[in-house]
Structure 1
Amino acid sequence: MSVSAMLLFLLLGLVVFDADLAMHKKLEVKSLLELANHDATFAINQELKTEGIIDLNLDEAMDRFARRMAENGGYSRQGAAFLPSAASVTSDPLAFRYYYIDFQHWQRDFQLSLQYQQGNLQEVSAVFADTLRPEGGYVEVAITTEEGEELRLSPKRMVGPSLVVVAYVDEQPFVPLLSGHAFPVVSVEELKW
């Protein structure tokens, strides 16, 4: 076997390994987001609950979210990003945004458009539809990358007031010859009361 053939097989092996690594990271980040978001949705405003009003205490919810991201993934929150530790699944920060969909809006479709730029997710638009869906509205998320590519995530249905968290991973490749790992992840969790 010639040296060029061996190099070709080595390169193909690296491409397969890199693709597998990217998929693993996406699944792991999705799992981390869903676990943290699940815990965050228990942060019900207790004073309002005694008056029969169910509402999310956003400060407590985000504290719970950050604590769970640290416990399960080794990430620490800094502004609108989660910074990885040496034990984290990603090596670069996770940019994120969150939205609380309350009792007045969960039965309406929610279209969220974000722009990823210089390590941040910036809101372009956040629009609720006029039509009510008694079974719950859909959350539709679109993210425009720095290269101008629009990424659309599969719609997720809300079954009650919900906390929506969107994260975007954009990190360097395992092998410099290959493209980096960039992907969005969304978690929609109903309030737990």
Structure 2
Amino acid sequence: MLFFLLVGAFVVDADVAMQKKTEVKMLLELANHHATFAVDPVLKTEGVIDLIENEALQRFERRMKENGGYVREQYAFVPAADSITTDPIPFGRYYVDFRSWEQDLQLRFEYNGTRFVMEQATPGAVRPKGGRLQITVVTEQGEELRLAPKTMVGPSHVIVAYVDERPFLPMLPAHAFPVVSVEEVKD
């Protein structure tokens, strides 16, 4: 009987983790979509779509607070009592500008247990229909997680977050997973 209770707890815990991953992904997508409207109006009149990065980050922060109750502190979003996660979500960001979006790009992030930092940004081949974006996250244990590649269709704002969450029950393993949002800058 105890075995079945433990299996049931494990299944519930895994389901809760998947729900959190889906919710965090949706939060990032909505916030990043809002951020990509921070376009430089002067350059836009000249036909150049370029992001004002400070304004984009402020817009991103505002949506994270409005939609999920998260407040940014340094390089992490701290959840409110009613947020989907209970632990802070460290994040990193990268802007692929109008001169670089047709070039392949490899981004490498590292999580050390508290900080999540971009370790490397390596440009690659030029593709006229849009560069291929490959993101790798190195976990605290040194494991490399390669996220599915994406093709950029214009200047893009990239947000990568790393959820490192306590389990439903203390005897179960913690949940840790990267979440990415890549949004084309809006014109």
| TM-score (normalised: structure 1) | 0.94
Q: Superposed, which structure 2 residues align to 1:81-120 within 5 Å?
A: 81-120=76-115
Equivalent residue number for residue 183 of structure 1: 177
Deviation at 1:45, TM superposition (A): 1.0
What's the CA shift string for 1:16-41, capped at 9, x where partnerless? 00000010000100010000000000
**Selected match of 1:26 from 18, 21, 43:** 21
Q: Distance in 1 between matches of 2:136 and 2:101?
A: 19
Q: Which one has the largest radius of gyration?
A: 1
**Gaps spanning 5+ residues in structure 2: where?**
none
Q: Distance in 2 between matches of 1:48 and 1:107?
A: 19
Q: Distance in 2 between matches of 1:54 and 1:160?
A: 9
**Selected match of 1:14 from 9, 21, 24:** 9
Greater shift after overlay, 28-37 or 42-51? 42-51
RMSD: 0.9
Q: Distance in 2 between matches of 1:26 and 1:106?
A: 28
Deviation at 1:132, TM superposition (A): 1.2
Equivalent residue number for residue 153 of structure 2: 159
**Gaps spanning 5+ residues in structure 1: where?**
1-5
* Cα contact 2:49–2:155 (8 A) shared by 1: no
Q: Superposed, which structure 2 residues align to 1:132-171 within 5 Å?
A: 132-171=126-165
Greater shift after overlay, 79-88 or 42-51? 42-51
Greater shift after overlay, 137-146 or 160-169? 137-146
* Cα contact 2:48–2:98 (8 A) shared by 1: no
**Selected match of 2:38 from 34, 40, 43:** 43
Deviation at 1:55, TM superposition (A): 1.0
Matched AA of 1:127: T
Give the 3-state SS of the residue equivalent to 1:140 in structure 2: strand
Q: Distance in 1 between matches of 2:16 and 2:175?
A: 9
Q: Among the aligned pairs, what percent are the same residue? A: 58
Q: Distance in 2 between matches of 1:40 and 1:133?
A: 26
Equivalent residue number for residue 3 of structure 1: none
Matched AA of 2:179: V
What's the CA shift string for 1:128-184, capped at 9, x where partnerless? 10x211111111111111111111110111110000000000011111111111000
Matched AA of 1:121: F
Equivalent residue number for residue 123 of structure 2: 128
**Selected match of 2:71 from 62, 76, 94:** 76
Q: Distance in 2 between matches of 1:80 and 1:66?
A: 11
Q: Distance in 2 between matches of 1:65 and 1:111?
A: 23
* Cα contact 2:38–2:56 (8 A) shared by 1: yes
Equivalent residue number for residue 62 of structure 1: 57
Give the 3-state SS of the residue equivalent to 2:186 in structure 1: coil
For these two proteins, the number of residue pairs brought into alignment is 187
Which portions of structure 1, spanning 4 or more consecutive aligned residues, are displaced by more than 4 angstroms? none
